[in-house]
Amino acid sequence: MPTASLFVLAAKWVGIATLLCAVLTVLSWALKWGIRFRLVGVTSFMVILTAGLFTLSIAAVPQIKIPGAVPFSRVYDNGAAETAIAVPPEITEPQLEATLRQAAHDLFSPGRGGGTDARLTIRARTIIHPEENVSKPLYLGYVKRSLRSREDDNMEIFIDSEKFASLPVLPNEQ
């Protein structure tokens, strides 16, 4: 898997090639070579390629997997400080905590606008069916994390144990 250090190395070598292309282009214009217009195009492309590789070296963040986390889907995101994820109704409290930690890592983005609070709140919910043809969302917990720092050691995780009592009991758990 490509890492930030590999993109830095690629950007360095492509940057050197770009400088050589630029020198060759200037030389072609000074000597009025017939391929000077093509060299302008090649040099322009090399500049764009170098900038792209440099950007990837900044943006490449390794994905981490939190043990015990279950798959979730994002059901609401205002692009700023509020997000909701859906989890299966069979989830346990330890799995929910791991899933909230995973979501806090996966949904972090330095481009989110947080207003004055500067904290991202991710709420976990599931859907229960208390009676036939009736669906009810049940919020099981949330995590609040910093919007400014990727590594947040002060995440606030809340799991509502009372809501877990409302979850359906699976036949093998009785």
Is the CA virtual torsion 159, 138, 94, 165 positive or negative? positive
* Other residues' Cβ atoms within 10 Å of the Cβ of residue 160: 16
Around Cβ 30, how many Cβ atoms within 10 Å?
A: 9
- How far, rounded to the nearest angstrom, does the alpha carbon of residue 95 sit from its chain's CA centroid? 20
Residues 167, 159 contacting (CB under 8 angstroms): no
The CB density around residue 103, as the number of other CB atoms within 10 Å, is 25
Which phi and psi (to 5°) does residue 136 adopt?
Answer: -135, 125
Q: What are the pLDDT tens digits along the chain (174 aa)?
A: 567 778 889 999 999 999 999 999 999 999 999 999 999 999 999 999 999 998 888 776 667 888 999 999 999 988 788 999 999 988 999 999 999 999 998 888 777 776 666 788 999 999 988 888 888 899 999 999 988 777 778 889 999 988 888 777 765 555
Q: Locate the domains of the chain by residue range.
A: 4-59, 73-173
